[in-house]
Amino acid sequence: MSLYGMMRTGVSGMQGQSNRLGTVADNIANAGTNGYKKSTIEFSTLVIGSSDGYYASGGIVSDVRASVSRQGVIQYTPSATDLAIEGAGFFVVQDESGQPFLTRAGSFVPDDQGRLVNAAGFYLLGYSFANGDPSPVANSFAGLEPVTVVQQSMSAIPTTAGSIAANLPANASEVDPALLPSTNAAGAEYTNKTSLVVYDSLGGEVLLDIYYSKTADHEWEITVFNQADGTANTGFPYASGPIASDMLIFDGTNGQLDASSITSLAIPVPGGETLTLNLTKMSQLATSYTPGEANVNGSAAAAVKEIKIGQDGTVYARYENGTMQALYKIPLANVRSPDQLIIGSGNVFSQSPSSGDVYLGFADSGGLGSISSGALEASNVDIGEELTAMIEAQRSYTANSKVFQTGSELMDILVNLKR
């Protein structure tokens, strides 16, 4: 082995252990950084060709590895906008310029515009419910926008969908066709009646009177009026005709809706939007009239009381009147090899040629983890492991320096032989 090669190998060892100490220092400094992923140094041999009777020393090559896929401990907090991922996946965030990144750092708070931003200044992105139930764009960040929660605003949600259930008595008498509610005649007759509260565009309550009238065996007329148009103490005649009317047809063998029957009724809510009322749970059995569960969406005007975030990533606004409105759905992103992502400042990651392409989906689907609200993922750094690695690297560095020092001393002896 040449003395020059010996010294070069010692330098290679010192450089490798210096890199290792650098990662240890960074890991210890970020032991309290939420979502931080520790870095390590992996060594591989550097071999230089040798020949019989002659050994050429090589050295080591160091490669930085980030433990991105290693889960950190979940720690719970009192803030609903603190988010942690249990399992695979990353939040999609963007900087001030709109450049998207991936992160596991979920300590989000609203800024002066209500946008959720984390401690490093990155804005959380999600899909808005403004255009209906969102679906992820699997291979692109298109459609994502900053999640905005403005808690001071008032909101009224008009009713657009609902369902109603009831059992209509199969043995009821038929109503005279001339006196059916749909005729809106004075003294109109009906078999059963119920009322339903819905909301107009300004959040005002609208009471709907719903009449069920048997017209023939297994056939019923369903008629809807605006209660505000009814005659005091009687209802009929209403100031204006029914706002919706149609026929329910039941199967005489099982009492459920026949295939030829309607299963929903479109009801234009006065001052509001069209309510699609689901009727699939209606039945006709030989027992008394039995009203079932009735549900509608929409709400009266109210201020946002708090923000709730579900495990599937849906961001809800909870209003003072107790109603909930879905605002955004937070997707999760992932790559085939998370440990090969490029690490950026602010605890963010971006795609690399070795990581594979970024794909998006929703929590608890497609192998992605779940989202916990009121929780943060701690750093995955173990201080005990880092201190042990620091001592090992220190001793290895010292040993390699001794190799270099010995080579230098021998080189002096060789030079002095000429004198």
DSSP 214-277: EEETTEEEEEEEEGGGSBTTTBPSPSS--SEEEEEEB-TTTSBBPTTS-SEEEEE-TTS-EEEE
Nearest to residue 58, comparing CAs of 43, 42, 36? 43
The tens-digit pLDDT sequence of the chain (419 residues) is: 577 778 888 888 899 899 999 999 999 999 999 989 999 888 888 887 777 767 777 788 888 888 998 999 999 999 999 999 999 999 999 999 999 999 999 999 999 888 999 989 999 999 998 878 898 888 889 999 999 987 556 778 899 999 999 999 999 999 999 999 999 998 899 999 999 999 999 989 999 999 999 999 999 999 999 999 998 888 899 999 999 999 999 999 999 999 999 999 999 999 999 999 999 999 999 999 999 999 999 888 877 788 899 999 999 988 777 778 889 999 999 999 999 999 999 999 999 999 999 999 999 988 999 999 999 999 999 999 999 999 999 999 999 889 888 888 888 888 888 66
The residue ranges of every structural domain in the chain are 3-70+380-416, 75-152+330-377, 159-297
pLDDT value at residue 56: 76
Residue 325 burial (CB < 10 Å; 0-12/13-18/19+)? middle
pLDDT value at residue 9: 87
Determine phi and psi for 152, rounding to 5 degrees.
-90, -10
Centre a 10 Å sphere on the Cβ of residue 101 and count the other Cβ atoms it contains.
Answer: 23
Distance CA(379)–CA(34), nearest Å, equals 5
pTM: 0.67
Q: Is 190 helix (H, G, I), strand (E, B) or coil?
A: coil
Q: Is 293 helix (H, G, I), strand (E, B) or coil?
A: strand
pLDDT value at residue 295: 94
pLDDT value at residue 1: 53
State in words which class domain 159-297 has.
Answer: mainly beta
**164: amino acid identity, one letter:** I
DSSP 107: B
Residues with Cβ within 8 Å of 71's Cβ and at least 6 positions away in sequence, in order, are 86, 87, 377, 380
With beta carbons less than 8 A apart as the criterion, state whether 318 and 190 touch.
no
DSSP 4: H
